Every structure is written in C-alpha cells, then in structure tokens.
C-alpha cells in the first residue's frame, strides 16, 4: 500500500473524531507541561541557590572552613588566614569576606533579619554586579550600606506604620548600630528570603560583633596569571588546613545541600515523575481508547490485506502527530507559565535541556501508549472484525 495513502487514511481516522483527537493532544500537552514546568522550577531553585556565588565571582577560589555546607553557612576563620593565603605562591590577590545573618530594625520599628555581606575595605572586591542608585564607593561613607533594588519593595517593607519599603537615604539599625542606605544594586534572585545588604568588611564586623573573636567567613583568592588552579589549591589547603573551592564547586555543594536538606529535590523530582506518570496514564489511556474504538476499522483493514507493519506505521503516525502537537503546546504553556512566574519573582529556569528531556519523556509516553494499542491491533480477533 502506498505509504502516503496509508498516512492519509491514518490521519483522516485521527482527525475524524475531533473530541478524541483534542483529548489526546490535551493529555500529551498536560504531561509535557507538568514535566517541563516542574523541572524548570527545580532548575530555577538550583540556580538561585548559587546566585550569591555567581554575583561574587571575581575570585577563582574560596577559602573556607571544611565544615561549610553552603554559601550562607558562616563558620568563622581566623583573620590571619588572609595573610597566610596572600603569601602563598600562585595567589595574585586575596581579600576577606564576611557574610552572616544579623538582626535589624527599620525606622518604624519593624524587626527583620538580613544577610550582611562585608567587602574588603580597600578593594571592595565581591561587590554586586550592577549598581542602580549611588556608587559602590559610597560604601566608604560613614555607616553606609547598599540594599537590593529588586527585592526591597517586598523584603524591606516597613510594616509598623511606615507602609513603604526602605530606600536610599533611610537610616535604620543593625544589631543596635546605626546604618545608612547610600545606594542600591541589582543582583540575581536569591534562594533565601532574607534581604542581602552590602557594606565594608570592617563595618560588617562592627555591626555583627557578638562576642566572637574571629568573624571572617571566606577568603576570596584570585590566581596569578599562569598559576595552576589545582596546584595552588593543594598548596593553600596544606598551608591553611582549610578547604579551597572553585566557584563551580562551591555552587554545586551549595545546591546539593539546600536541595537535599530542604526536600526540594525530592518534592520537585517527585512532581516531575508524577507529571510523567499522569501524562503517560492520561495519554496512554486516551490513545488506547482511541485504538479500541477504531479496532474494528484496523481489523477491517487487516482483513482486507493491510499488513501489521503498515498498521503499526499508521498507529505511530497517529501517536506521532498528537505527541508533537501536545509536546509543543505543553512546553509552550509551561514556558508561558514560567515567564509569568519569573516576573512574579518565583524560581523558574528552562535551559534547552528541559525541552529535550521532556521530548524524550513524551516519546517514551507515546511508545508506551502505542505498545498497548499495537498489541490489540496485531492480535486481530475475528469477533472484532465480524461483529465489531
């Protein structure tokens, strides 16, 4: 039988029953949307966990306590480590960085917790990538701090009478020390809810001083030109007894820790699997029902001399058409939903791998659906052909 005619008949059979046709596409689209959207949220969360490290990526290595589990995990180091690192061969420069959770109070009395980042006083290395208001050097002014312009409306809202977010020019207190907002910056969306404020390293220590003798969180290291990362890392670790992690490594351990400890990986992984399973069930069941409804016609074609291979080609074409359309609609809907979620500040990221993996999942769903249908078509029974 001419393959084009076979395909034309198969498509006419498929399009002939509009309700089932749309049902099939909806089933596949639903599965594709669930899989791609949930996976994109998971990737979005994963990316957010490393946003601080990415925003502070001027260094090649981060020197930290071996027990540090993620980027906001403050386990203090001795101040002298900065000097020890600076004196290590292969190091171009090394600067201290403070990062920790501290309590603060807004002008109207609203209490809140913030993540305070202290940058090297001299170089201000580790600063956020983009200033919105003011200059980075304004941090050298008395009591100066920078706030995140992107999140201040939500995270720095004065709830006890102020009824407005804190802004440049406002004064407030950090651990009972006066602070003054001199500028704002824009950064990547963070996984953590707490607002991130930047100041100088020495001022951060002053703000956060709570009786601890050592306050240094990290030493950020830039390699000298031509220095080998592995060799320098080994040397630094030998000299300091600390751990030296590259940016990608630090991003990875942070993501691993947060995703696993918060249950996000389990929850969203389960949601992706659930999307796949529900999609497979819906699409499989709908297609199987479509096949059952048309079994008499497949049987008639087979009785009239159409072979199994041709019937299989017809089925695959039918499944293929609904799968491609359903996949496109589903991933499109997932992406549209993601755009809306992103604009609302929620985690969503859809790299090309997600549509690719979703396509693979949909192919699998389609093959499962086809398999059960093919079994019925191949096992042609006279009762089906003759009695319908």
Partner 1 sequence: MHVTPPPSAPAVFCRQLSKIFGSGDNQVHALRGIDLQIEQGELMMLVGPSGCGKTTLISVIAGILDASGGECQVLGQDLNSLDASARTRWRGQQIGFVFQAYNLIPSLNAAENVAIPLLVQKMARREAIEQAAAMLQRVGLADRRHALPAQLSGGQQQRVAIARALVHQPRLVVCDEPTSALDHVTGHQVMELLREVASSANRSLIVVTHDARIFSFADRIAHIEDGMITHIAQQASSLDKESFHVA
Binding footprint of partner 1 on the chain (CB under 8 A): 1-2, 5, 9, 12-13, 15-17, 296-297, 299-308, 380, 382-383, 385-388
CB of 263 to partner 1, least distance (A): 50
Nearer to partner 1, 143 or 302 (CB): 302
CB of 265 to partner 1, least distance (A): 47
Judged by DSSP in three states, 206 sits in: helix
Distance CA 319, CA 290 (A): 10
* Strands 218-223, 171-174: pairing kind: unpaired
Nearer to partner 1, 44 or 299 (CB): 299
Nearer to partner 1, 59 or 301 (CB): 301
CB of 25 to partner 1, least distance (A): 17
Distance CA 96, CA 79 (A): 8
CB of 260 to partner 1, least distance (A): 53
Distance CA 282, CA 143 (A): 61
| Token pair 């956060």: residue | 208
Distances (CA, A) of 229 to 61, 65, 172, 386: 8, 19, 42, 76
From the CB of residue 162, how many other CB atoms can be counted at a distance below 10 Å?
16
Residues contacting 113, CB < 8 A, separation 6+: 101, 102, 103, 104, 194
CB of 372 to partner 1, least distance (A): 21
Nearer to partner 1, 111 or 308 (CB): 308
Phi and psi, residue 210, nearest 5°: -130, 30
CB of 380 to partner 1, least distance (A): 7
Nearer to partner 1, 4 or 352 (CB): 4
Nearer to partner 1, 140 or 296 (CB): 296
Distances (CA, A) of 44 to 49, 78, 257, 272, 357: 9, 35, 15, 14, 16
Helix residue ranges per DSSP H, the chain: 3-16, 18-49, 51-55, 80-86, 152-155, 201-208, 229-240, 247-262, 264-303, 308-343, 353-378, 382
CB of 189 to partner 1, least distance (A): 51
CB of 381 to partner 1, least distance (A): 9
Closest CA to 81 of 210, 254, 215: 215
Dihedral of alpha carbons 72, 76, 77, 82, sign: positive
CA contacts within 13 A on the Cβ side of 327: 19
CB of 283 to partner 1, least distance (A): 21
Nearer to partner 1, 344 or 383 (CB): 383
Nearer to partner 1, 300 or 342 (CB): 300
Nearer to partner 1, 134 or 299 (CB): 299
């Amino acid at each position: 039988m001419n393959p084009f005619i076979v395909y034309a008949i198969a498509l006419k059979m498929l399009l002939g029953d509009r309700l089932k046709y749309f049902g099939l596409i909806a089933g596949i689209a639903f599965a594709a949307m669930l899989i791609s959207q949930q996976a994109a949220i998971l990737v979005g969360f994963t990316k957010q966990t490393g946003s601080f490290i990415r925003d502070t990526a001027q260094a090649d290595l981060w020197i930290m306590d071996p027990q540090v589990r993620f980027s906001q995990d403050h386990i203090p180091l001795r101040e002298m480590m900065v000097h020890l690192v600076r004196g290590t061969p292969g190091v171009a420069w090394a600067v201290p960085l403070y990062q920790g959770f501290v309590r603060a109070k807004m002008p109207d009395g609203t209490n809140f917790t913030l993540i305070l980042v202290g940058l090297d006083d001299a170089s201000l290395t580790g600063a956020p990538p983009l200033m919105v208001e003011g200059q980075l050097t304004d941090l050298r002014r008395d009591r100066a701090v920078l706030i995140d312009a992107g999140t201040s409306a939500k995270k720095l809202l004065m709830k006890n009478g102020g009824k407005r977010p804190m802004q440049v020019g406002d004064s407030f207190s950090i651990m009972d020390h006066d602070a003054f907002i001199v500028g704002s910056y824009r950064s990547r969306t963070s996984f953590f809810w707490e607002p991130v404020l930047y100041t100088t390293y020495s001022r951060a220590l002053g703000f956060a001083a709570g009786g601890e003798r050592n306050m240094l969180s990290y030493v950020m290291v830039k390699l000298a030109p031509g220095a080998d990362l592995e060799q320098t890392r080994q040397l630094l670790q030998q000299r300091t007894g600390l751990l030296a992690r590259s940016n990608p490594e630090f991003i990875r351990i942070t993501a691993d820790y947060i995703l696993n400890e918060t249950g996000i990986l389990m929850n969203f992984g389960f949601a992706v699997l659930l999307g796949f399973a529900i999609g497979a069930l819906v699409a499989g069941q709908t297609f199987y029902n479509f096949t059952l409804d048309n079994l008499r016609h497949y049987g008639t074609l087979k009785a009239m001399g159409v072979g199994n291979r041709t019937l299989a080609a017809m089925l695959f074409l039918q499944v293929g058409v609904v799968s491609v359309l359903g996949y496109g609609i589903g991933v499109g809907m997932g992406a549209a939903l993601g755009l809306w979620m992103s604009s609302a500040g929620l985690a969503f990221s859809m790299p090309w791998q997600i549509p690719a993996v979703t396509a693979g999942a949909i192919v699998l769903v389609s093959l499962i659906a086809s398999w059960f249908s093919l079994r019925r078509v191949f096992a042609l029974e006279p009762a089906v052909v003759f009695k319908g």
